[in-house]
């Protein structure tokens, strides 16, 4: 099976500018292809990972991926998917974001066999006259207005700055085609108009025989129709400083049976046979969650490495057993980041006062005493029944946390300030 048919089987293709021509090209040679990454945030996220995974598949098949970090276009703003103009960031913030994102991409693709470039390097050299003369005259306004990303903003309003974004992205493709022989651009479904503009610009400047192609990935929806990639805490970031590998692992492990096979196809490099076997296990033994476990393992390994998988599973096993005393303070921070929390000082505190603080764990000291006497409270993994018990935050977890559990499953975290 060729790579285009494989991507179709995985549900990873939304549109192509010329599928027949692209398939023929890939049968003839190995190519260079690219994805653009916006550096307006400090980290890339799950939405970025979908086209990046396609690039990785091409890399595994012997092709050469190129990542374009939008140091230039990021300063302008992409109108796609937004109802208002982007707030432009200062150059020093962009520079820091570029450094962080470069580190993340290197972890995904390795140090060899791919290249990271910054479109600021060539866009910053354009002056207004050359931009209008050499490129602007090749873009009919009536065509630009019909692009979905522009048309959706006309009623609310769009600045000339963001209106010209599609020209700048087209210049990216032309520059990479001309200087690095990049023949395929991959992007999200909302980028099809911009990608088509790049293909058209290459044909206008170099002739219709120039072999340049575009491919977009579909918007990934869950079985309930909601957009995939969000959690209660917000975006699913790939930088471990913003989302711990444990939380990342849990996000994928907690996917529904109705979604897990689709996600295995899109986000993992498992063979068709392996995925079909897992689909059968979902059908006959859904309670074992083997497909979810494999999904979490594979994606976490790709993004964070095998050591992160081992750590996430170790934390999961400890939490399942309830023996939280085995956790390190770093593991506590990762495992309990989303549970309800209170802030306490380094001073020793009576357990009743701890439980009733801010009415978060118990609604009153009377209820706290009752739950203590009934054996419903554990502190740092040890059951507490004495209503006069004094808790010393320095006893565990480097003096940073106190873990409270009420009943069998309700956890709370006291953070020492």
pLDDT in tens, 358-385: 887 888 888 988 889 889 898 998 999 9
Contacts of 371-379 spanning 24+ positions with Cβ under 8 A = 371/406, 376/406, 376/407, 377/351, 377/404, 377/405, 377/406, 378/322, 378/404, 378/405, 379/351, 379/354, 379/403, 379/404
Q: What's the pLDDT tens digit per position in 66-120?
A: 999 988 887 776 555 555 555 666 778 878 888 899 999 999 998 888 999 999 9
CA angle in degrees (0–180, nearest 5) for 94-100-102: 100
- Mean pLDDT score, 392-401: 91
Strand order in the sheet with 377-379: 341-344, 410-416, 401-406, 377-379, 382-383
How many CB atoms neighbour CB 211 within 10 A? 20
- CATH 3.10.290.10 boundaries in the chain: 341-416
pLDDT of residue 95: 83
Q: CA–CA distance from 251 to each of 3, 289, 381 (Å)? A: 28, 14, 25
For the structural domain made of 3-217, what CATH number should be given? 3.40.50.620
Computed over every residue of the chain, the mean pLDDT equals: 89
**How far apart, in whole angstroms, are the C-alpha atoms of residue 379 and residue 207?**
72
Instruction: Please say whether the beta carbons of 173 and 198 come within 8 A.
Output: yes
CATH 3.40.50.620 in the chain, residue ranges: 3-217
pLDDT at 232 over 70: no
**CA 136 to each of CA 167, 168, 330: distance values in angstroms, whole numbers, following the listed order:** 7, 10, 53
* 204 assigned ligand-binding residue: no
Sequence-ordered list of residues with C-beta below 8 angstroms from that of 210, at least 6 positions apart, any chain? 177, 202, 203
Does the annotation list 34 as a binding residue? yes
Helix 257-267 vs helix 290-304: crossing angle, to nearest 10: 30
Complete DSSP assignment for 200-262: HHHHHHH-TTS--EEEEEPP-B-TTSPBTTEETTEE-BSSTTTS-HHHHHHHHHT--HHHHHH
Confidence label for 20 from pLDDT (cuts 50, 70 and 90): very high
Question: What's the pLDDT score for residue 281?
Answer: 96
Per-residue confidence (pLDDT) for residue 165, from 0 to 100: 83
Q: For 341-416, CATH number? A: 3.10.290.10
CA separation, residue 214 to residues 60, 70, 415 (Å): 20, 18, 50
Percent of residues, the chain, with pLDDT higher than 70? 94
Within its chain, how far is the Cα of 272 from the centroid? Answer: 24
Q: Determine if residue 230 is labeled as part of a ligand binding site.
A: yes
133 DSSP assignment: I
- Residue intervals of the chain classified under CATH 1.10.240.10 are 230-321
Q: How far apart are CA 323 and CA 312, in angstroms?
A: 15
Average confidence (pLDDT) over 137-161: 76
pLDDT band for 191, please (50, 70, 90 cuts). confident
pLDDT at 262 over 70: yes
409 annotated to a ligand binding site:
no
CATH code at 230-321: 1.10.240.10
Is the pLDDT at 183 greater than 90? The verdict is yes
């Amino acid at each position: 099976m060729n790579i285009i048919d494989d991507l179709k089987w995985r549900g990873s293709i939304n549109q192509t500018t010329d599928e027949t021509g692209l398939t023929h090209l890939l049968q003839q040679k190995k190519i260079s292809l690219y994805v653009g990454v916006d550096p307006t945030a400090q980290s890339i996220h799950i939405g970025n990972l979908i086209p990046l995974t396609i690039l990785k598949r091409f890399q595994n098949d012997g092709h050469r991926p190129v990542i374009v970090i939008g140091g230039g276009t990021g300063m302008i703003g992409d109108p796609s998917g937004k109802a208002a103009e982007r707030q432009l960031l200062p150059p020093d913030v962009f520079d820091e974001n570029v450094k962080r994102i470069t580190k993340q991409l290197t972890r995904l693709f390795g140090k060899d066999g791919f290249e990271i470039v910054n479109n600021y390097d060539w866009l910053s050299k354009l002056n207004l006259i050359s931009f209008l003369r050499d490129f602007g005259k090749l873009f009919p306004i009536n065509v630009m207005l019909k692009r979905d990303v522009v048309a959706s903003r006309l009623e609310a309003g769009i600045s000339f700055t963001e209106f010209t974004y599609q020209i700048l992205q087209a210049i990216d493709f032309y520059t990479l085609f001309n200087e690095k022989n990049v023949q395929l651009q991959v992007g999200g479904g909302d980028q099809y108009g911009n990608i088509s503009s790049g293909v058209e610009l290459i044909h206008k400047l170099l002739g219709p025989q120039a072999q340049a192609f575009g491919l977009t990935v579909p918007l990934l929806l869950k079985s309930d129709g909601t957009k995939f990639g969000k959690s209660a805490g917000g975006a699913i970031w790939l930088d471990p400083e913003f989302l711990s590998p444990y939380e990342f692992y849990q996000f994928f492990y907690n996917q529904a049976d109705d979604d897990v096979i689709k996600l295995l196809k899109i986000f993992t490099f498992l063979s068709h046979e392996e995925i079909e076997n897992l689909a059968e296990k979902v059908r006959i033994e859904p309670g074992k969650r083997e497909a979810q476990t494999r999904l979490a393992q594979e994606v976490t390994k790709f993004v964070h490495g095998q050591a992160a998988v081992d750590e996430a599973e170790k934390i999961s096993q400890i939490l399942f057993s309830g023996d939280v005393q085995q956790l390190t303070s770093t593991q506590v921070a990762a495992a309990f980041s989303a549970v309800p929390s209170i802030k306490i000082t380094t001073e020793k505190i009576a357990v009743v006062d701890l439980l009733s603080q801010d009415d978060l764990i118990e609604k009153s000291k009377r209820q706290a005493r009752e739950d203590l006497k009934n054996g419903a409270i554990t502190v740092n993994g040890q059951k507490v029944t004495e209503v006069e018990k004094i808790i010393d935050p320095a006893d565990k977890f480097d003096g940073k946390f106190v873990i409270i559990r009420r009943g069998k499953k309700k956890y709370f975290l006291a953070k020492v300030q």
